[in-house]
Amino acid sequence: MKTEPNSGSLMGATVSGFELAGASDADLAELKASLYRHRLLVLKEQHLEPKEFVALGRALGTIEVYYEPMYHHPEHPEIFVSGTKPGDSTEGVPQTGKFWHADYSFMSNPFGITMTYPQIVPKTNRGTFYIDMAKVFAELPDRLKDRLRGTLVEHSPRRYFKIRPTDVYRPIHEVQAEIEQVTPPVFHPTVFTHPVTGEEILYVSEAASFGFVEPDGTRLPPEILQEVLERSGQLDTGFTDPHIHLQSFTEGDLLLWDNRALVHRALHNPRPEPAQSYRVTVHDDFPFFGVAG
Ligand code: 7UC
Ligand code: FE
């Protein structure tokens, strides 16, 4: 197994020669160490059946099955399927994650590792954007750092929740009430210490964050969230902000990343070219939130 940092790029490393079938505990430990160090890994030449992809997830920790069944692979609910369009031969929910987010940040116990394994790779517009929120926090002016440490951030999926086939003809307020009931707003530490790297992570995304709250319940002005998002690069609609890394992929690539430190955004082809990707998400051996900053 060989791990090479992506030269000339903001983050990530390429791993060649990793084979789940022959992997020892030491290989898996090495893979995890590289994952936390480089944040984003591209495993080359992976040829895994769905059940082997699930086995890779189990080898890394405890799999979290997505809470909405419409995303599930028909035989393997552990796999979340993102695809082109309903009604196409390609299965899966279209246009998933087309907004800056960290996976499951709207849940009380998010998972540390996300893996995606493209199955049908489109010819153009392939890839995923990433921003390192440890770096973003480190670069904030001290006055903002001090303002944010010790506060909580409200997260909810309500802004980008996708209408399910079973929602057709339902009154929208009923669907909205259901979202609030199934996934009530959660309040996470705005800044927490990464349990492995020890860095302070700014846990904020354009998709899921709804503002900051002092421990006594006082809301911070909305302009502060706006400023933080702007500084992070998440509001740059042209994707040229220097914090943004575009990771492209090809057949056989399997991406895995640190879902604590990175926010990501899918790059989808607006044209109906077939595309499909499998995802498995994993709780690692550490509590998601280290110590709140
Ligand atoms: O349809 C989607 O884009 C699903 C997304 C909002 N959730 C991914 C997650 O794990 O948070
Ligand atoms: Fe995602």
Ligand 1 atom at minimum distance from 207 CA: 6
Ligand 1 atom at minimum distance from 281 CA: 10
Q: What's the CA-to-centroid distance between 219 and ligand 2, angstroms? A: 28
* 161 ligand 1 Cβ < 6 A: no
* 253 ligand 1 Cβ < 6 A: no
- What is the rounded CA–CA span in Å between residue 11 and residue 37? 10
Residue nearest to atom 2 of ligand 1 (CA): 96
Question: Residues 110, 28, 261, 148: what is their CA dihedral angle, to the nearest 10 degrees?
Answer: 70
Residue-wise pLDDT tens digits, 151-175: 999 999 999 999 999 999 999 999 9
pLDDT band at 49 (very low <50, low <70, confident <90, very high): very high
- Read off the pTM: 0.96
Q: What's the CA-to-centroid distance between 151 and ligand 2, angstroms? A: 25
ipTM confidence: 0.95
* 93 ligand 1 Cβ < 6 A: yes
260, burial (CB in 10 Å: exposed 0-12, middle 13-18, buried 19+)? buried
* 96 ligand 1 Cβ < 6 A: yes
Closest CA to 264 of 127, 145, 101: 101
> Domain 2-283 has what CATH class?
alpha beta
pLDDT of 291 reads: 60
What residue ranges do the domains of the chain occupy?
2-283
DSSP state of 71: G
As a whole number, mean pLDDT of residues 112-140 equals 95
Q: Is the pLDDT of residue 262 over 50?
A: yes
Residue nearest to atom 6 of ligand 1 (CA): 97
Largest pairwise CA distance in the chain: 54
* 156 ligand 1 Cβ < 6 A: no
Length of the chain, in residues: 293
What is the per-residue DSSP string for 256-288? EEETTTEEEEE---SS----EEEEEEEE-SS-S
Phi/psi of residue 249, each to 5°? -150, 165
* 103 ligand 1 Cβ < 6 A: yes
Phi/psi of residue 221, each to 5°? -60, 140
- What is the rounded CA–CA span in Å between residue 130 and residue 262? 6
As a whole number, mean pLDDT of residues 48-66 equals 98
pLDDT band at 289 (very low <50, low <70, confident <90, very high): very high
pLDDT of 293 reads: 46
